[in-house]
Amino acid sequence: GPVLDTAFFRRWLAAMAAAVERAADRLTELDSAIGDADHGSNLQRGFRAVTTALEKDVPAAPGAVLTLAGRQLISTVGGASGPLYGTLLRRAGKALGDAAEVTPAELAEALRAGVAGVAQLGGAKTGDKTMLDALEPAAEALGTSFAAAAEAAERGALATVPLLARKGRASYLGERSIGHQDPGATSSALLITTLAATAEE
Ligand code: ADP
Ligand code: MG
Ligand code: MG
């Protein structure tokens, strides 16, 4: 399998930043249906800041890459998704500690810690039509393989379509949130598919 060292984590986040650039319009369009039409631009701002920070400062370990990225997302993204993604990455980074290389099992465990942090901060659970619907099954499936995690995340994002939103702005719409894919679950699927793609390089 791939070597999960500092360079790997930097490649993953660079791939995510590029994916956000490509998907920004679509994410904002999804957010215009059940939110305030800023999810794409929020993540663009956030991941551009992540890219800049990782170019300036070369963290010494995988955990430090994730915590640096998480800090950037928290400080640059005004919307709900900034602190939530920031918490995901900071918690995951903290769980990795200062190891120079991590195993897939350690990464899976760290991602589960990050997901628990998101649930704690946002008060949502799986099925509430949020990013957790993609992240939670992905973190579980990562124990099996990167490809299984990517598949679980994409399936989880698609499965938000028929759900009623119970957290975040979309919940203000009540029944009218039904029939639309959650923007945050969609960007979360990107985060995991870019992880899997980086692992396959
Ligand atoms: P905002 O809603 O502040 O404009 P964004 O548009 O960037 O922020 O992000 C919206 C996404 O954030 C939603 O699609 C959802 O996935 C996620 N989200 C919102 N509130 C929560 C929450 N309490 N728990 C988990 N995810 C949430
Ligand atoms: Mg929004
Ligand atoms: Mg907003």
Residue showing tokens 């793609």: 197
Residue 122 beta carbon below 6 angstroms from any ligand 1 atom = yes
Predicted pLDDT at 77 = 97
The CA dihedral of 112, 2, 15, 108, to the nearest 10 degrees, is 0
Residue 69 beta carbon below 6 angstroms from any ligand 1 atom = no
Residue 156 beta carbon below 6 angstroms from any ligand 1 atom = no
Query: Has domain 4-200 been given CATH number 1.25.40.340?
Result: yes
Best of 38, 126, 167, 172 for a ligand 1 pocket test (most atoms within 8 Å of beta carbon): 167
The pLDDT tens digits of the residues spanning 71-101 come to 999 999 989 999 999 999 999 999 999 999 9
Both tokens of 162, joined, read 């028929």
Q: In the structure, how many helices (H) and strands (E) does the chain have?
A: 8, 2
Where b means 16+ CB within 10 Å and e means fewer, 66-89 reads bbbbbbbbbebbebbbbbbbbbbb
Q: Quick one: pLDDT band at residue 109, thresholds 50, 70, 90? A: very high
Q: From the alpha carbon of 36, which atom of ligand 1 is closest? A: 4
DSSP 62-101: HHHHHHHHHHHHHHH--STHHHHHHHHHHHHHHHHTT-SE
| Of 61, 49, 62, 80, residue with least CA distance to 187 | 80
Indicate whether this complex's ipTM tops 0.95. Answer: yes
CA 37 to chain centre: 18
The burial class, CB within 10 Å (0-12 / 13-18 / 19+), for 177 is: buried
In the beta sheet, which residues pair with residue 102? 4
The pLDDT tens digits of the residues spanning 150-178 come to 999 999 999 999 999 999 999 999 999 99
Domains of the chain, residue spans: 4-200
- Taking residue 145's Cβ as centre, other Cβ atoms within 10 Å add up to 15
Best of 39, 158, 172 for a ligand 1 pocket test (most atoms within 8 Å of beta carbon): 39
Closest ligand to the CA of 42: 1
The pLDDT tens digits of the residues spanning 39-82 come to 999 999 999 999 999 999 889 999 999 999 999 999 999 899 99
Residue 134 beta carbon below 6 angstroms from any ligand 1 atom = no
